[in-house]
C-alpha cells in the first residue's frame, strides 16, 4: 500500500531566492522529514520525499511525502506531513519560550504558551517533537536563516492532499521567525506534564 501527502514550503518575499538560503533550508527540511519518518513508520516501510514542483509566488517548493507501507497499517492519525506541520504549529505557538503548562489528554496533548493561550496537538506530533532536541535545534536554525535573509518576509508550510485540497497551513512572519530562532530544550517538556 502506498500513501502520499503534499507539503508546500513558501519562502515569502522576492520571487528569486539566495541559493545558500534555499540549500540550507532544504537540508534542514529533509533532515526533519527523515527524523519524523524514522520515528513514525516501521522498519519494513519505506518513505521518500520528492520535489513535485518549484514555482514563483514568492518562492515555493512543493514536496511529495510518499510512504510505502509493508504492513498495510498506517501509524499516527496525521500522517507524516501532518506531524511535520504540527511541529511547526507547536513551535509558532510557543513563540520561542518554554510552555507554561503541558497536559496529557485522551485527544492529544494540551500545551499552554507563555501568554496563556492553549492548543491541542496529537500524541504522535508531541512525542516526535519532544523525543530529543535534534528537530528543535534544526528548525531553530531554519528560523534563524530565514529571519536573517533580507529578501524573505516570512515562511509558510502547507499540507495538502495529492488532489491539492489544503489541510493545514502555518505562516511565520519575520517576527515569528526571529522568536523561534533560539532552540528550546524540548527533552525536559515532559517534566512540565500535569
pLDDT 10s digit of each residue in the chain, 194 long? 888 899 999 999 998 999 999 999 999 999 999 999 999 988 888 899 999 999 887 899 999 898 887 765 445 446 899 999 999 999 999 999 999 999 999 889 999 999 999 999 999 999 999 999 999 999 999 999 999 999 999 999 999 988 888 999 999 999 999 999 999 999 989 876 76
Cell of 127: 512525542
Measured CA to CA, the distance from residue 159 to residue 170 in angstroms comes to: 9
What distance, in Å, lies between the first and last C-alpha atoms of the chain?
A: 39
Q: Is the dihedral of CA 39, 108, 80, 89 positive or negative?
A: negative
SS3 140: helix
pLDDT for res 30: 96
> Residue 170's closest CA among 82, 40, 97, 103?
82
Contact 93, 119 (CB under 8 A): yes
pLDDT for res 71: 61
pTM for this prediction: 0.92
Q: The cell 534555499 sits on which residue?
A: 22
pLDDT for res 114: 94
pLDDT for res 192: 66
Amino acid at each position: 500500500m502506498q500513501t502520499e501527502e503534499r507539503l508546500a514550503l513558501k519562502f515569502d518575499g522576492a520571487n528569486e531566492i539566495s541559493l545558500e538560503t534555499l540549500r540550507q533550508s532544504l537540508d534542514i527540511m529533509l533532515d526533519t522529514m527523515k527524523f519524523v519518518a524514522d520515528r513514525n513508520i516501521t522498519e519494513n516501510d519505506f518513505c521518500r520525499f520528492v520535489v513535485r514542483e518549484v514555482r514563483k509566488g514568492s518562492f515555493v517548493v512543493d514536496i511529495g511525502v510518499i510512504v510505502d507501507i509493508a504492513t498495510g497499517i498506517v501509524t499516527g492519525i496525521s500522517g507524516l506531513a501532518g506531524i511535520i506541520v504540527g511541529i511547526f504549529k507547536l513551535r509558532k505557538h510557543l513563540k520561542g519560550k518554554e510552555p507554561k503548562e503541558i497536559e496529557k489528554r485522551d485527544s492529544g496533548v494540551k500545551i499552554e504558551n507563555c501568554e496563556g493561550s492553549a492548543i491541542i496537538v496529537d500524541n504522535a506530533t508531541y512525542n516526535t517533537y519532544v523525543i530529543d532536541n535534534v528537530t528543535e535545534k534544526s528548525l531553530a536554525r531554519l528560523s534563524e536563516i530565514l529571519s536573517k535573509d533580507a529578501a524573505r518576509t516570512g515562511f509558510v508550510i502547507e499540507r495538502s492532499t495529492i488532489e491539492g485540497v489544503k489541510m493545514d497551513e502555518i505562516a511565520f512572519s519575520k517576527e515569528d521567525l526571529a522568536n523561534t530562532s533560539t532552540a528550546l530544550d524540548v527533552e525536559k517538556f515532559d517534566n512540565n506534564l500535569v
